[in-house]
Amino acid sequence: MPAKGGSASGGKPKIGQKAPAINLPDQDGKNHKLSDYKGKNVLIYFYPKDDTPGCTKQACDIRDNLPKFKKLNAVVFGISKDSVDKHKKFADKYKLPFTLLSDEDLKVLKSYGVWVKKNMMGREYMGIVRTSFLINKDSKIVKIYNNVKPPLHADQVLSDLNIVL
């Protein structure tokens, strides 16, 4: 399912740029700002929908590798347009010990260029393209993962954390 286009703001941010601001509620209703995590490495992964096969596989893989992320001074945020309540159910069902952020108004999804026109079986629609951003301690984007493959993603990011940060 190829994705086309980018955000209303002109597409994805680029490596070396300061990461766009984030201020979103998590699965417990607590707001998180990216700026609160300066001094830490941050993996932001954007995914289409809670409790679907690929998204569940990706979340559980990150869950299973979370101690390795913590050892590398990294925090993880999953972001989709699902509601706080849906995130809560998803996190509880799969015992996800990391933060899921709700972007129902699409502001952050658009600022990161991941809310795009998609095409499946000849039908065009707007949706989230599975993309991740690795952000360093200075809030700069150091790696962008496009069209992420869920089963391999956590290992790939952990390997890059050891190299680039």
Kindly report the backbone phi and psi dihedral angles of residue 33, in degrees, each rounded to the nearest multiple of 5, phi listed first. -110, 140
Quick count: other Cβ atoms within 10 Å of Cβ 110? 17
Of 24, 43, 44, 55, catalytic: 55
89 Cα distance to chain centroid: 18
Question: Do the beta carbons of residue 142 and residue 19 sit within 8 Å?
Answer: no
User: Which of these, 86, 132, 107, lies nearest to 24 by C-alpha position?
Assistant: 107
Active site residue 55: yes
Which candidate, 12, 26, 21, 8, places its Cα nearest to that of 99? Answer: 26
* Overall residue count recorded for the chain in this entry: 165
Q: Could you give the residue numbers annotated as active site?
A: 55
